[in-house]
Amino acid sequence: MIRVENLKKTFRTEEVETMALNDVNIHVKQGEFAAIMGPSGCGKSTLLNILGLLDNPSDGKYFFDDEEVGALKESQRTQLRKGNIGFVFQSFNLIDELNVYENVELPLIYMKIPAAKRKEMVKAVLKRMNIGHREKHFPQQLSGGQQQRVAIARAVVANPKLILADEPTGNLDSKNGLEVMNLLSELNK
């Protein structure tokens, strides 16, 4: 599924060079559930950005489904991300002006999926996440746990091969955090 070999990421400014990742090696097979852990500032989010094709490594190799993707151009990364990678962020990243249904539908619109199929897919994932009754609500009308469920629904609605979650429980109380982790584990089965 994903394989990273001797991955490096360096951030440079005129004054300083910062090595965010140095010789990282990872191999995650399809169906595996992996956690990347470490102290704040150690490069976890940088690694997730590279794995999610939001950024390229400075050096090393990244294989997604046995295809070398570490040096792709932005347009190529964007195309590969669509439908293949779902993101769940600590801050939810929901669009305040869109209701629950519209937030979840958004990636399907970008993928040019026909409206009838989009409706079917969104309704199914909202039901699965137990938030179908909130589809007309806006993010600010939801609890933190409900917002995270919407964010997860948006990440998985297109049935991506890879789900990347960057501190998905960081803004939740322990009960909601446990529910989110159980949900992610269930989705991985």
Residues 6 or more apart whose Cβ sits within 8 Å of residue 41: none
Residues 6 or more apart whose Cβ sits within 8 Å of residue 15: none
User: What pLDDT, in 10s, does the model give residues 167-177?
Assistant: 887 777 888 77
- By the 8 A CB rule, do 45 and 170 touch? no
User: What pLDDT, in 10s, does the model give residues 85-111?
Assistant: 998 877 788 999 999 999 999 999 999
User: What pLDDT, in 10s, does the model give residues 105-137?
Assistant: 999 999 999 999 999 999 999 998 889 999 999
Give burial (CB, 10 Å; 0-12/13-18/19+) of 181: middle
Of all residues in the chain, the percent with pLDDT exceeding 90 is: 60
Q: Domain 86-189 adopts which CATH fold? A: Rossmann fold (3.40.50)
Q: What is the pTM of this model?
A: 0.81
User: Which pLDDT belongs to residue 129?
Assistant: 85
User: What pLDDT, in 10s, does the model give residues 32-89?
Assistant: 889 898 888 899 999 999 999 999 999 999 999 999 998 889 899 988 998 899 988 7
User: What pLDDT, in 10s, does the model give residues 10-36?
Assistant: 999 999 999 999 999 999 998 888 989
As beta bridge partners, residue 68 has 63
User: Which pLDDT belongs to residue 166?
Assistant: 86
User: Which pLDDT belongs to residue 70?
Assistant: 87
Taking the domain 1-81, which CATH number applies? 3.40.50.300
Residues 6 or more apart whose Cβ sits within 8 Å of residue 138: 96, 97, 98, 99, 100
Residue ranges, CATH 3.40.50.300, the chain: 1-81, 86-189
Structure tokens given for 92: 């939810």
Q: Where do the H-state alpha helices sit in the chain?
A: 44-51, 74-81, 100-110, 115-128, 144-156, 174-187
